[in-house]
Amino acid sequence: MTEAIRPSPTTPKPRGFRFPFSMKLESRLETPRWLPWATTLGSVIFALLVTAVILLAVGADPVRSFRAIYLAAFGDSYVFSDTLVKATPLILTGLACLLAFRMRLWNIGAEGQFYLGAWGATLIVEAVLGQDAPGWVFIPLMLVSGFVFGAVWGFVPGILKARFGVNEIITTLMLNYISLYWVAYWVFGSWSERGFQMTPMFPRQAWLPRLMDYSAILKPFAGMTVHLGFLFALLAVVGVWYLLTRTRFGYEIRLIGDNPNAAKYAGVNIAAMTIFVFMLSGGLAGIAGMSEVTGVVHRLQDRISPGYGFTAIIIAWLAKLNPWAVIPVAIIFGGLLIGSREIQPSGLARMLQGILLFALISTEVLNRYRVRVERVKM
Amino acid sequence: MNFWINVLSAGVGNGTALLFATMGELLAERAGVLNLGVEGMMLVGAVTAYSTAFATGDPWIGLLAGMLAGALLSLLHAFVVITLRADQVVSGLSLTFLGIGLALVFGEGLASARGVPTIPTLSIPLLAQIPFLGPIFFDNKSVLVYFGYLLIPAVWFYVYRTRAGLHLRAIGEYPAAADSLGIDVYLWRYFYVLVGGLMAGFAGGAITLSITPGWFSEFTTSGFGWIAIALVIFAQWDPVRAAFGSYLFGSLRRFTLDVQGVQDVFGIANPFFFDRNLQFFLEMLPYALTVIVLILGSRAAIRKRLGAPAALGIPYVRGERGLL
Residue B305 pLDDT greater than 70, yes or no? no
Q: Which of helix, strand or coil describes residue A193?
A: strand
Packed helices A323-340 and A228-246: angle between N→C axes, nearest 10 degrees: 150
Q: Which of helix, strand or coil describes residue B310?
A: coil
Provide CB contacts within 8 A for B183, sequence distance 6+. Answer: B167, B170, B171
Name which residue leads in pLDDT, B286 or A3: B286
B160 in any annotated domain: yes
Residue B164 binned pLDDT confidence (cut-offs 50, 70, 90): very high
Among residues A115, A181, A172, A174, the alpha carbon closest in space to that of A149 is found at A115
Residue B324 binned pLDDT confidence (cut-offs 50, 70, 90): very low
Of A166, A358, A361, the CB nearest to B295: A166
- The domain that contains B251 carries what CATH number? 1.10.3470
Provide CB contacts within 8 A for A314, sequence distance 6+. Answer: A333, A353, A356, A357, B97
Q: Please, which residues 165-204 of chain A have a Cβ atom closer than 8 Å to chain B?
A: 165-167, 169-171, 173-175, 177-178, 181-182, 184-185, 188-189
B173 in any annotated domain: yes
Residue in chain B nearest A366 by alpha carbon: B84
Residue B235 pLDDT greater than 90, yes or no? no
Residue B154 pLDDT greater than 90, yes or no? yes
Q: Please, which residues 214-243 of chain B have a Cβ atom closer than 8 Å to chain A?
A: 223, 226, 229-230, 233
CA B324/CA B317 separation, integer angstroms = 12
Percent of chain A with pLDDT over 90: 51
CA A307/CA A285 separation, integer angstroms = 12
pLDDT at B306: 56
Provide CB contacts within 8 A for A130, sequence distance 6+. Answer: none
B228 in any annotated domain: yes
Q: Which of helix, strand or coil describes residue A241?
A: helix
How many structural domains is chain B composed of?
1
Distance of CA B241 to the CA centre of its chain: 13
CB contact under 8 A, B86 and A365: yes
- B31 neighbors B188 (Cβ within 8 angstroms): yes
Q: Write out pLDDT tens, residues B114-123.
A: 888 999 998 8
CA A357/CA A362 separation, integer angstroms = 9
B48 in any annotated domain: yes
B32 in any annotated domain: yes
Residue A60 pLDDT greater than 70, yes or no? yes
B105 in any annotated domain: yes
pLDDT at B304: 57
pLDDT at B279: 86
Query: What would the mean pLDDT of B203-219 be, rounded to a whole number?
Result: 90
Distance from CA of B154 to the nearest CA of A (A): 24
Residue A223 binned pLDDT confidence (cut-offs 50, 70, 90): confident
Name which residue leads in pLDDT, A252 or A60: A252
CA A311/CA A199 separation, integer angstroms = 26
Residue A189 pLDDT greater than 80, yes or no? yes
pLDDT at B323: 47
Residue A148 binned pLDDT confidence (cut-offs 50, 70, 90): very high
Partners of A360 on chain B (C-beta within 8 Å) are 94
Average model confidence (pLDDT) across chain B: 88
CA A73/CA A83 separation, integer angstroms = 6
Q: Suggest the residue from A53, A54, A167 to mutate for an interface test with chain B (most B CBs closer than 10 A).
A: A167
Give pairs for A13-21: CB < 8 Å, separation 24+.
A18/A376, A18/A378, A19/A376, A20/A375, A20/A376, A20/A378, A21/A373, A21/A374, A21/A375, A21/A376
Partners of A102 on chain B (C-beta within 8 Å) are none
Of A58-67, A140-149, A172-181, B42-51, which gets the smallest average pLDDT?
A: A58-67
pLDDT at A265: 93
Of A166, A347, A364, the CB nearest to B86: A364
Locate all alpha helices (DSSP H) within chain A, ordered by sequence: 34-57, 62-74, 77-102, 110-123, 135-164, 168-188, 228-246, 248-258, 260-265, 270-292, 308-318, 323-340, 348-368
CA A317/CA A321 separation, integer angstroms = 6
Of A6, A317, A350, the CB nearest to B186: A6
Residue A13 binned pLDDT confidence (cut-offs 50, 70, 90): very low
B213 in any annotated domain: yes
Residue B313 pLDDT greater than 50, yes or no? yes
Q: Write out pLDDT tens, residues A324-371.
A: 999 999 999 999 888 877 666 667 777 888 888 888 888 877 777 777
Q: Suggest the residue from B90, B105, B302 to mutate for an interface test with chain A (most A CBs closer than 10 A).
A: B105
Whether B87 and chain A come into contact, CB under 8 Å, resolves to: yes
**What are the CA-CA distances from residue A71 to residues A65, A78, A344, A346 (Å)?**
10, 11, 15, 17
Highest-pLDDT range among A36-40, A350-354, B76-80: B76-80
What is the 3 state secondary structure string of B57-81?
Answer: CCHHHHHHHHHHHHHHHHHHHHHHH
Query: What would the mean pLDDT of A46-72 be, rounded to a whole number?
Result: 85
Of A235-239, B294-298, B320-324, which gets the smallest average pLDDT?
A: B320-324
CA B177/CA B175 separation, integer angstroms = 5
Q: Write out pLDDT tens, residues B27-46.
A: 999 999 999 999 999 999 99
Of B84, B101, B290, the CB nearest to A347: B101
CA A82/CA B103 separation, integer angstroms = 28
CA B201/CA B71 separation, integer angstroms = 7
Give pairs for B81-84: CB < 8 Å, separation 24+.
B81/B33, B81/B315, B82/B33, B82/B186, B82/B189, B82/B190, B82/B193, B82/B315, B82/B316, B83/A5, B83/A7, B83/A23, B83/B186, B84/A25, B84/A362, B84/A365
The whole domain housing B283 covers 2-123+138-304
B320 in any annotated domain: no
Name which residue leads in pLDDT, B86 or A124: A124
Phi-psi region of B234 (alpha: psi -120 to 50; beta: other; left: phi over 0): alpha
Half-sphere exposure of B295 (CA within 13 A, CB side): 14
Of A166, A169, A351, the CB nearest to B36: A169
